[in-house]
Amino acid sequence: MGFDALALQLLNGLSHATTLFLMASGLTLIFGVTRIVNFAHGSFFMLGALWAAHAVTNWWPAWGDSAFGYAAAMLMGAGLAAMLGAITEVLLFKRMRQAPQLYQLVATFGLTLALHDAMRWYFGPEEVFAPRFPGLKGAMALGESFFPTWQLFTLVLGPLVWLVLHLLLTRTLWGQRVKAATQDRDMLDALGVNPAPLMLGVVMLGCGLAGLAGALQLPREPAHLQMDVNMVVETFVVVVTGGLGSIGGAFVAALLIGLIHALGLSFFPQATLVLVFLTMTAVLVWRPQGLAGAAVHAEQRESVPVFSLWPVGQAGRALFVFVFLGLSLLAWRQGDYGRSLVEDVMVMMLFGLSLQWMMALGGLVSFGHAAFFALGAYGAALAHLNAGAGLFVALTAGTVLALTVALVFGALVVRSSGVYLAMLSLALAQMVWAGATQWVGLTGGDNGLIGLRLIAPEWRPLADAVLCGFLLLSLVVMARVANSGRGAALQALRDAPLRAAASGLPVQALRYQVFVGSATLAGLAGGLWASFKGAVFPSVASVAMSVDALLVILLGGVHQLWGSAVGSALLVWGGAELGQGLDYWRGVLGLLIMAVMLLAPSGVLGGVQLWLAHVRSPQGPKA
C-alpha cells in the first residue's frame, strides 16, 4: 500500500471517528447524569437519518438541491430525535432511574424493538438513497486517490463538536450543574436545584446528537432499518473504551476505534470487527475503567433480592413440576411443530439457567453469553461432521471447547465488573460471530454447517425426556447450591464484594469458578441446539441470541429458581404465537418487555410472589 492509499484510509478513519464521537458523546452525557445505559441510542441515530433522507428525497425534493434546505432537513432529524428523547425520558428513563443497570439495559432494548417496528410502519422497509450535499459534492486529490469533500467536512466537525461540548460543560452554569449532577445528584437536589429539568435537557441533547450523527451519514450511505443495532454496538465500544461518563475519553476512543476500523479494512478486511473488539479488550484488561474513566469501585449492598427458592413447600414444588411436565407433554403431542417448540423452550431454559447461575448467584453480568453457546454448537457440529462423532461425543466436544475458552477468557476479565465486564463478554461474542461468519473453510460462513444427524427420529422422544429430566436435576442442584454455604458466600460477594474480601472470602477465585461453570453449561446448551436443529449458523453468536438469554431470566425472574422456565416459555412460545399473525410482533414484544421492567422488575414469578404475599398479609385484601 502506497502513502496516498494509507493517507486516504487514515482520513476515512478520522471521518468515521466523527460519527462515533457524536454518538458516544450523547450516550456518555445521558449515562453521566441519569446513570442509565441506553441500548436504544441507535434508534435515535436511525430516526435522524430516515427523517432527513425522506425529507430531501420524497417529501420536499427541492430541499436536496440547496445547502440550506439539506441542512434544515438534517437539523429537523436531529430535533425530532431530541423530542423523542424527551418523551422517552418522561415515560421510561425517569421511572427506571433506581433500577439496576441490567434492567435499564433490557428495558431500552425493548424500546429498540418498539421504535424499530414503529419506524418500519411509518417510513417503510426500503432503503432511502439521499442526494449528495450541495456545494460539497467534489473530492480532494491525494496523489492518485480522492477523498470526498463531505467527509472532509465531517472530519473537521468532530473536534468542533468536542470544543462546543467542552465549553458548554465548563463555562456555563448549566454545564456546571450537569457536572455536579454527574458527581452527586442528591447533593445537587439538597442545594435547591431541581434535577428533573436538567436530566430532561441532557437526554434531549444526547438524543439530538445521535439524530444529527445519523443525518450526517446521508451523503455517504443510504438510510435503512439496520442502522440502529449496527451503530449502537460500536458506540458502546467507544464509550466503554474511553470510560463511562468521560467526554474527553469518548473523543480519544472514537479516534482510536475509527483509525483501527479504517486500517483494518485496508490490511485485514476479514478481521476488522475482531480488531476493534480486541482493541477494547486490551484497553479494559490494562485499565478496567477505560482510558479516562474514574477508578472502578465495587458497589456495596446492591439493591437485589436474595435468590428465591419459591415455592418452598413440597406441594408447591410438586405443582410446578407437574405443570412443567404437563405443558411439555401437551405441546409435544401437537405434532412436529409442538415438539420443535418444546425443544426450543427446553434448550433456551438451559441457556437461561447458565446465565442465571452467573448473574443471580455471582453478580456477574454478561451481554455476550452467546459466545459460549455458539462455541458449544460449532464444536458439536464440527466433531460430528469431521470426525463422525455421535451425540454424546459431539456434546462433550462442544462443551469442552466452551470450557477451554472460558478458562482463558475468564482469567483475563473476571476482575472487571458491571458494564465493563458485560462489554468484554460482548467483545468475545462478536469475535466468535466474526470468526463464524468469515472463516468459511471451517464454519461454512453464512451458509452454516448443515446436515447434522446427531439425533435419529426414532430416538427423539427419548432425547426430549432425558433433556427434561436434566433440566429438573439442574434446578435441584441450583437450589441446593443457593441454600448452601457456598451459595451464601457467592451472594455475599455479589452484594458486598469489599466486605466479602475483608472477611477472607476468595472473591476472584469464586467469581472465576462461577464464570467458568456458567460458560460450560451454555456450551452444553449450544451443543443441544445444534443437535435438535440439525444445523448451525453464525446467528447463534449474535447479539440477539445473548439478549434472548437475558430476556429469558429477566422475564421469568433472575432471582427466582423457576425464572428461566417461565421466561423461556414466555419468550419462545409467546414469540412464536405473535409471529404467526402479527406483522409487527417485535414491536409488541418490545412494549411487553418495557411493561415487565416497569411494573414487575423482579420478573413474572417475582411479581406473582409479591402479589400473593400482599394478599395474605393482614393489611392486604381479604382472600
pLDDT in tens, 372-414: 999 999 999 999 999 999 999 999 999 999 999 999 988 877 7
Residue 538 lies in a domain: yes
Residue 475 lies in a domain: yes
Q: 3-state DSSP call for residue 302?
A: coil
- CA dist 346 and 352 (Å) reads 10
Query: Residue 458: which domain range?
Result: 337-542
Residue 550 lies in a domain: no
Q: Which range among 57-61, 142-146, 300-304 shows the weakest confidence by mean pLDDT? A: 300-304
Residue 205 and residue 342 in one domain: no
Q: Is pLDDT above 80 for 289?
A: no
pLDDT band, very low/low/confident/very high, at 226 (cuts 50, 70, 90):
confident
- Among the candidates 504, 519, 542, a domain finishes at 542
- Among the candidates 233, 248, 276, a domain finishes at 233
Residue 146 lies in a domain: yes
Q: Are 344 and 572 in contact (CB under 8 A)?
A: yes
**CA angle centred on 478, ends 410 and 402, rounded to 5°:** 30
- Among the candidates 188, 213, 233, a domain finishes at 233
**DSSP secondary structure letters along 237-270:** HHHHHH-TT-HHHHHHHHHHHHHHHHHHHHH-GG
- CA dist 402 and 541 (Å) reads 12
Give which of 131, 150, 137 is closest to 54, Cα–Cα.
Answer: 131
Q: Is pLDDT above 80 for 582?
A: no
Give pLDDT, residue 120.
94
Q: Are 392 and 412 in contact (CB under 8 A)?
A: no
- CA dist 606 and 604 (Å) reads 5
Give which of 493, 489, 491 is closest to 361, Cα–Cα.
Answer: 491
Question: Structure pTM?
Answer: 0.84
Q: Is pLDDT above 90 for 187?
A: no
Residue 252 lies in a domain: no
Residue 91 lies in a domain: yes
Residue 165 and residue 27 in one domain: yes
**Bridge partner list, 223:** 128
Give pLDDT, residue 52.
95
Q: Is pLDDT above 90 for 50?
A: yes
Higher pLDDT, 181 or 61: 61
Residue 224 and residue 344 in one domain: no
- CA dist 403 and 380 (Å) reads 13
Higher pLDDT, 499 or 120: 120
Q: How many independent structural domains does the chain possess? A: 2
pLDDT band, very low/low/confident/very high, at 301 (cuts 50, 70, 90):
very low
Residue 162 lies in a domain: yes
Higher pLDDT, 454 or 275: 454
Give pLDDT, residue 300.
44
- CA dist 341 and 330 (Å) reads 11
Give pLDDT, residue 121.
93
Q: Which helix (H) or strand (E) holds 521?
A: helix 507-533
Residue 559 lies in a domain: no
Burial of 95 from C-beta contacts in 10 A (0-12 / 13-18 / 19+): middle
Q: Quick one: cell of 152? A: 472532509
How confident is the model over 208-224, as a mean pLDDT? 92
Residue 154 and residue 15 in one domain: yes
Give which of 78, 73, 75, 71 is closest to 134, Cα–Cα.
Answer: 71
